[in-house]
Structure 1
Amino acid sequence: MGLAGVLLLGGDIADGGIRGTGSSVGPVSGFGSVFVNGIRFITENLGIDDFDGEPGVPVEADLEKGMILQIRGEWQDDGEGQAELVRYDDTLRGPVTSVTQPWDDVIREGRIEVMGFEVILDRLTQSTLADLATIVVGQELRVSGWLQADGSFRASYVGPVSPGDHAQEIEGYLSVTGEEGNERYFVDGLELQIPSGAVCDELALADGTPVDAEGEYSGGAAFIVSNICNGPTAFLDESLDEDVQVAGVVTELFAGEFANGRFSLNGIRVTTDANTEVDDLAPSDILPGVLLQVEGRYVNDNGVLTLQAEEIEYRDADAGVEGLLDGVDGDVLTVGGVEIRQTPFTIREDDDDDDEGCPEVIGPDLVGRVELEVAGIQRSDEGYLEALEIECEGEVDDSGYELEGRIDALNKDPGSESLTILGVVLRIDADTEFDDVEFADLSENDRVEIDYSGDGSGGYIAEEIELEEDD
């Protein structure tokens, strides 16, 4: 069954540093045991029966970064945990039926359809394909991702799967038409043929029910079901009344203010109150499709599954920098003057490659020898980039830097014009080019993409500025 909607069930911090015991669900960000939701779960003591996988992913060693896992176990306040059970399940598994927007490596976006279901690829999508741009119709893929409110999927992982030796798999919300006794069942327009005995005992075939089905995709005509069960929300037991933590996509727009607000995450209602802590967020930032991490208490509110949020964190990439590695101080990197902080959430996209110029650990010996492309969260209050993904290139072309983010400050005084992003002051001079915008028209919080270079004395000069539209 799909795991993207499973919540992380936790307990109070106990003596000895125990922070919680329950289930942690989220994408893998690293190995050395396995990192999920910022916790390093030790898996070395797990037996063969303690891993529940999929065709092609039968054991823990077959896991890849970006795959969304459910881990049952115990975790501590220091970010360490002990896994007792690890589960992986594909969100979609089957043939590509359309490439609607081929992958563009410059803007890091693409769209495909798998068995007619739209799959959105973005800068945080991890893949074991040779190149996302090589995806073609008919290719068999497995997708691990989040089901969004419009029925599309935001991919966390996309990878190959050998055709013919497995059941295909879909996930979505059930639509029921027809009179009783003559019902027809659909998921996002794809009709399901459900034979007797294929329905799990706990599943009610009702309109709007989230389902996960395995079977055979018969072109665009139908999906012949061999097994159909409850979808992601089936993992949420309404009898529970414990602390929870969950990472996922917003599926309903935020309404109200943080003192008394509501939105949905992975299809689950989330409420906020005056005690909810927010990390560098405004209500207007909580938009459908955005990745968040919520911690709070899961309750049954008059029959409605509700997560009362105690803390909300932004977990999506809204800024980035690319260029020569300028400095290393422990886990803090510097590129083009931008301070980049690595965390347990940081994914190294390239550290499984054989590029000798980019070893797994980025140390001081690589300063001036490699280029980094970093996507992350703009932490304007402290002026740094929290890295979500780092890609290292051993070939250096020394063509300057590229920065994407929101303007933190502007100086429009004649003769000393500049703008500041992520703590980097970029001077404007007569050679600075502007793409469909004038410097005088820029405002704080505008989202821009800037090509820039060093000025030879420790400062930086903007070479080209482009105003970007918000999604």
Structure 2
Amino acid sequence: MSSTSRPSCSSSRLWAAALGVVFAAALVACGGGGGAEPAGGSTPPVTATGSFTSGAISGFGSIIVNGVRFDDSGAQVYDDDGNRRGSDDLKLGAHVEIEASRIDRTGGSGTATVIRYGSEIVGPVTAVNSAASTFTLLGQTVETTSTTVFDDSLAGGLSALTAGLVVEIHAQWDAARGVYVASRIEDKLNATSYKLRGTVANLDTTARTFSIGGAVLNYGTATSVPTTLANGAWVRVNLQTTPSNGQWVVSNFGNESRSRGDHSEAEIKGIITAWTSATQFSVDGLAVDASSATFREGTAGVVLGARVEVEGAIVNGVMVATKVHLEDHSSRGRGEDYELHGTVSALNTTAKTFSLRGLTVSYSANTTWKDGSESQLANGSRVEVKGDLSSDGATLTASRIEFE
């Protein structure tokens, strides 16, 4: 199947215009983000009002992000090359940015107008460290967690990754630890080029080389070289699939800048990728002004690398926060991290599995049934499934199945 930060200081794809000039300017230079449009390709429209939501897809039946169900039937979907895509290209675990109507908080719903998605890395696996739940590719370290979704073509999860296998990684950059935390991994066997987002280091404008993590990149023949290329800049590069003299050859640079526009309502979940203080930081490249926000758990844990949920509004490119919540990982793994709606196929009553929206679902005697029973399950049945990922990340273990 096929799909679809960051550094402590970078040329973010999401330029934050000043809300307080000094603060915005400082955070614009820090932290990256995923899913930007390069020069060329179509240009997605910008919604001037309404809501903005950023996070990982946790369910379908419409699209569920941060606990809100967005009707995506009329949405324009774009990949990180600015190309129009369809809703079927959106996958569980992929990080998206959604521009939508105002959210009905009572019903937890909204109507999406624009959805953007993009991965961080495409490349061949170099090595796998099962004990640490990590692997490397293109000189970068990727960490998998209990909520990392593996495409069903990678049955076995991390054990399915072997040296040389080309994969696509949807992730968030953890600047505090220098790793990409994967939310989705899928094979990319048909890749004609590789991709990498990261922080420029060791820039040599004479040799026309620089480093991202452990990879040396040569941009001597690259097109669309940004004038802002400098050490510390956050860039997206497309690479040739064969290295030359130990260096990866850059074909072109993606345009990592975009204005999100103003939104009277915004909610983001992610990792703090740049930090000045507990009230001035950025989440996945979006500058946050939390000077007037309430902190339910206090401010001590609001540090570089912390996972947070922030609510507020976007004004002049800055997230003006009203609430900051430290994400509680103890609430994960309670049986309903993910939710899928759709039509059952490939039902195997012996193995007690079926396929739903491209993901294998497993049920058992511990599964709760509503408006029907296990004996009524059949190919073509429309169901809602809630559950957690299996230990290998490639199967959704159903805690509840409801017939629709």
Partner of 1:411: none
Q: Secondary structure at the match of 1:154?
A: strand
Partner of 2:209: 184
How many residue pairs match? The answer is 320
Partner of 1:379: none
Q: Is the 8 A contact 1:358 1:393 kept in 2?
A: no
Q: How far is 1:316 from its partner? A: 4.6
Q: How far is 1:393 from its partner? A: 7.3
Cα distance in 2 for residues equivalent to 1:393 and 1:76: 28
Q: 1:251 to 1:366 in 2, by over 3 A?
A: farther
Cα distance in 1 for residues equivalent to 2:149 and 2:365: 18
Q: Is the 8 A contact 1:10 1:242 kept in 2?
A: no
1:69-468 mapped onto 2 (5 Å cutoff)? 69-78=96-105, 79-99=108-128, 101-102=129-130, 110-128=133-151, 129-134=154-159, 135-149=161-175, 150-163=177-190, 165-178=191-204, 181-196=206-221, 198-199=223-224, 204-219=228-243, 221-231=246-256, 234-236=257-259, 244-252=266-274, 255=277, 261-273=279-291, 275-279=292-296, 281-298=297-314, 307-319=319-331, 346-348=337-339, 352-357=359-364, 362-363=369-370, 391-392=397-398
Task: Specify which structure has the higher proportion of strand.
Answer: 1
Q: Is the 8 A contact 1:263 1:270 kept in 2?
A: yes
Q: 1:195 to 1:321 in 2, by over 3 A?
A: closer
Q: Secondary structure at the match of 2:158?
A: helix
Q: Secondary structure at the match of 1:205?
A: coil
Q: How far is 1:317 from its partner? A: 1.5
Cα distance in 2 for residues equivalent to 1:124 and 1:64: 14
Q: How far is 1:287 from its partner? A: 4.0
Q: How far is 1:54 from its partner? A: 7.4
Q: Which consecutive residues of structure 1, in runs of 5 or more, have no partner in the other structure?
A: 12-19, 323-339, 376-388, 395-471
Q: 1:269 to 1:358 in 2, by over 3 A?
A: farther
Deviations 1:85-121 (A, max 9, x none): 333222111111111x21x6xxxx6111121210011
Deviations 1:392-427 (A, max 9, x none): 379xxxxxxxxxxxxxxxxxxxxxxxxxxxxxxxxx
Deviations 1:440-460 (A, max 9, x none): xxxxxxxxxxxxxxxxxxxxx
Q: Which amino acid aligns with 2:125?
A: V
Q: Is the 8 A contact 1:54 1:88 kept in 2?
A: yes
Q: Which consecutive residues of structure 2, in runs of 5 or more, have no partner in the other structure?
A: 1-12, 14-31, 37-45, 341-352, 375-385, 390-394
Equivalent of residue 77 in structure 2, options 51, 74, 98:
51
Cα distance in 2 for residues equivalent to 1:364 and 1:289: 43
Cα distance in 2 for residues equivalent to 1:204 and 1:360: 54
Q: 1:69 to 1:24 in 2, by over 3 A?
A: same
Q: Is the 8 A contact 1:10 1:23 kept in 2?
A: no
Partner of 1:30: 59
Cα distance in 1 for residues equivalent to 2:97 and 2:333: 32
Cα distance in 2 for residues equivalent to 1:111 and 1:366: 40
Cα distance in 1 for residues equivalent to 2:223 and 2:289: 36
Q: Which amino acid aligns with 1:36?
A: V
Q: 1:321 to 1:126 in 2, by over 3 A?
A: closer
Partner of 1:402: none
Q: Is the 8 A contact 1:97 1:137 kept in 2?
A: yes
Cα distance in 1 for residues equivalent to 2:120 and 2:315: 26
Cα distance in 2 for residues equivalent to 1:64 and 1:93: 16
Cα distance in 1 for residues equivalent to 2:150 and 2:360: 13
Deviations 1:375-403 (A, max 9, x none): 9xxxxxxxxxxxxx984379xxxxxxxxx
Q: 1:306 to 1:358 in 2, by over 3 A?
A: farther
Larger radius of gyration: 1
Q: 1:146 to 1:131 in 2, by over 3 A?
A: same
Q: 1:360 to 1:175 in 2, by over 3 A?
A: farther
Cα distance in 2 for residues equivalent to 1:189 and 1:240: 37
Q: 1:74 to 1:136 in 2, by over 3 A?
A: same
Q: Is the 8 A contact 1:3 1:70 kept in 2?
A: no
Q: How far is 1:358 from its partner? A: 7.6
Q: How far is 1:208 from its partner? A: 1.3
Cα distance in 2 for residues equivalent to 1:58 and 1:37: 22
Structure with higher RCO (Cα < 8 A, 6+ apart) = 2
Q: Is the 8 A contact 1:124 1:156 kept in 2?
A: yes
Cα distance in 2 for residues equivalent to 1:30 and 1:321: 15
Deviations 1:59-80 (A, max 9, x none): 4224321011233332422432
- Counting aligned pairs with the same residue, the percent is 20
Q: How far is 1:282 from its partner? A: 2.9
User: Normalising by the residue count of structure 1, what TM-score does the alignment of the two structures yield?
Assistant: 0.57
User: Normalising by the residue count of structure 2, what TM-score does the alignment of the two structures yield?
Assistant: 0.66
CA RMSD of aligned residues (A): 3.9
